[in-house]
Amino acid sequence: MKKQTTNIFEAVPVQEVVLLTGATGYIGGRLLKVLEQTGMRVRCVARNPDTLKPRVAPMTEVVRGDVLEFDSIRLAMDGAVTAFYLVHSMGSSAEFEEMDRIGAENFARAASESGIRRIIYLGGLGDSSEELSAHLRSRHEVGDILRSSGVQTIEFRASVVIGSGSLSFEMVRALTERLPVMITPKWVSAITQPIGVSDVLAYLRAAIALNVDGNRTYEIGGPDTISYGGLMREYARQRGLRRWMISVPVLTPRLSSLWLGLVTPIYARVGRKLIDSIQHTTIVRDNSASEAFAIRPIGVSDAIALALRNEDHEFAETRWSDAVSSGGLLGNWGGTRFGNRLVDSRTIQVSVDPKAAFSPIRRIGGMHGWYYGDLLWRIRGFLDLLVGGVGVRRGRRNPETAAPGDAIDFWRVESYEPDHLMRLAAEMKLPGRAWLEFEVTGTASGSTIRQTALFDPVGLLGLAYWYLLFPLHQLVFAGMLRGIARNAQIVKA
């Protein structure tokens, strides 16, 4: 059988329309970017197109459609050649198995009537000869329904997908970060075969041009088999955390799901469905994917490291003026979250142009001070010195301007765009990583200054540090922003 390329950006004929469902979801949203980078014509189906349109490339179509409404999905398929089915109803409070069944039946019928030549579907690993959970049973049933359409169907079955934002990875992350000692139920020892999200995307992309006849089901996973407990230990190792696990047999799936709802971002009802599934061994038993594709998935350690690096990259590329409300303080008490990071952001308006508004920002620290609570900043620096940190003794290289790499007291300039943006990375001793960002936008008649404090906590100590000091940070950062605004007005005068 002909091997497929590992290059997920290989060009394909641009005249062929690829239909993508689930573009607002985790896998679908990432696959959308991959397909767009190939120059492919993509048509996304969304229940609410207006929420998706701002996030797609100019050549990508966004049409209204819902797999639970046959007429809408049938209309959306007109002219498409390949269709991705990447939707499921696990997060629904309704009977998700019935909803998945109806959605798959509508999609299969519409694909058959519209002349779709290939359906590509991502399901879940699990031995069909065993008594599967409702979630895995539904995933397999959807694949059967799609194959019964008469349209060639390529189904991939995967276990844990490792990538920042994936349900399983976020569960592992939250449990490991927040619980130094874990009372672990039996499901934590279940064996799985994780796969990195980049490898899942590579398989999905390569399946478009796969040279094969008839229906195919491919089990995909990385080279490592590992328990969920092992995943937590590896995540802890890479984050520099010490974690202890005490196994007990008494935590039922229901109790475990309620426990997840308390200590992780996962809703209890989703947690129950997830735990029901992860009690099963989910490993690759059929290696035909390695023969049909030249893709060689990375291991668990590399996949976790890549997920953390990619999250750093996404964070570095974020502009908070686009990502958060322009109405001042972000979220509820304690800020809000960006991945594992905690974010506290506020704005202030000044009647000066961006150059004048940015002037006090580029001078911050050193002899100019921090525009509010300088005594508190000096105390913080002294405490940092006591624990072996740099304190505030460094000052700054140039009192009037800054550049990436410059030290400013116990901060270092990470990003600098004159008259627009300065991001500082903390070099003080902290149970995590911290940033302080200033961004200025506006016109000659007025500007908006946004100040954003960000913290990537490591473990329970990191979370305790953020929440205990949050009231003080509110006082200091709000006062600092007002001080910057006053100084900007003085510059204008």
Q: 11 pLDDT exceeds 80? A: no
What are 250-295's pLDDT values in tens digits?
555 555 555 555 555 544 445 555 655 566 678 899 999 999 999 9
Residue 312 lies in a domain: no
Q: Residue 366 and residue 194: Cα distance in Å, rounded?
A: 49
Q: Residue 81 and residue 70: Cα distance in Å, rounded?
A: 18
Residue 313 lies in a domain: no
Residue 322 sits in a domain whose CATH number is: 3.30.530.20
Lowest-pLDDT range of 187-196, 198-207, 328-337: 328-337
Q: Looking at the structure, tell me whether residues 278 and 407 fall in a common domain.
A: no
Structure tokens at 262: 């308390």
Residue 179 lies in a domain: no
What are 42-55's pLDDT values in tens digits?
999 998 888 788 88
Q: Looking at the structure, tell me whether residues 358 and 482 fall in a common domain.
A: yes
Residue 136 lies in a domain: yes
Residue 234 lies in a domain: no
Dihedral over Cα of 121, 127, 133, 137: its sign: positive
Q: Looking at the structure, tell me whether residues 201 and 327 fall in a common domain.
A: no
Q: How far does CA 284 lie from the centroid of its chain?
A: 26
Residue 422 lies in a domain: yes
Q: Looking at the structure, tell me whether residues 126 and 38 fall in a common domain.
A: yes
Contacts of residue 261, Cβ cutoff 8 Å, sequence gap at least 6: 267, 268, 271
Q: What range defines the domain where residue 358 resides?
A: 318-492
What is the model's pLDDT at position 262? Answer: 54
Which of the two residues, 492 and 322, has the higher pLDDT score? 492
What are 152-162's pLDDT values in tens digits?
999 999 988 99
Q: Looking at the structure, tell me whether residues 282 and 222 fall in a common domain.
A: yes
What is the model's pLDDT at position 205? Answer: 95
Q: 377 pLDDT exceeds 80? A: yes
Q: Which of 232, 237, 231, 199 is nearest to 218 (CA)?
A: 199
Q: Looking at the structure, tell me whether residues 36 and 109 fall in a common domain.
A: yes
Residue 196 lies in a domain: yes
Is the distance from CB of 450 to CB of 346 less than 8 angstroms? yes
How many domains would you assign to the chain?
2
Cβ-in-10-Å burial (0-12, 13-18, 19+) of 452 comes to buried
| Mean pLDDT computed over 439-451 | 91
Q: Looking at the structure, tell me whether residues 372 and 276 fall in a common domain.
A: no
Q: Looking at the structure, tell me whether residues 210 and 333 fall in a common domain.
A: no
Length of the chain: 493
Q: Residue 92 and residue 95: Cα distance in Å, rounded?
A: 7
Q: Looking at the structure, tell me whether residues 277 and 329 fall in a common domain.
A: no
Q: Looking at the structure, tell me whether residues 290 and 331 fall in a common domain.
A: no
Residue 307 lies in a domain: no
Edge-first strand order for the sheet with 446-457 is: 336-338, 341-350, 446-457, 432-443, 421-426, 411-417, 407-408
pTM of the model: 0.70
DSSP 349: E
What is the model's pLDDT at position 258? Answer: 55
Q: Residue 119 and residue 106: Cα distance in Å, rounded?
A: 13
DSSP 247: E
Residue 279 sits in a domain whose CATH number is: 3.40.50.720
What is the model's pLDDT at position 10? Answer: 45
Q: Looking at the structure, tell me whether residues 83 and 199 fall in a common domain.
A: yes
Q: Looking at the structure, tell me whether residues 435 and 481 fall in a common domain.
A: yes
Tell me the pLDDT band of 296, cut-offs 50, 70 and 90: very high
Type of residue found at 338: F
Structure tokens at 437: 């960002």
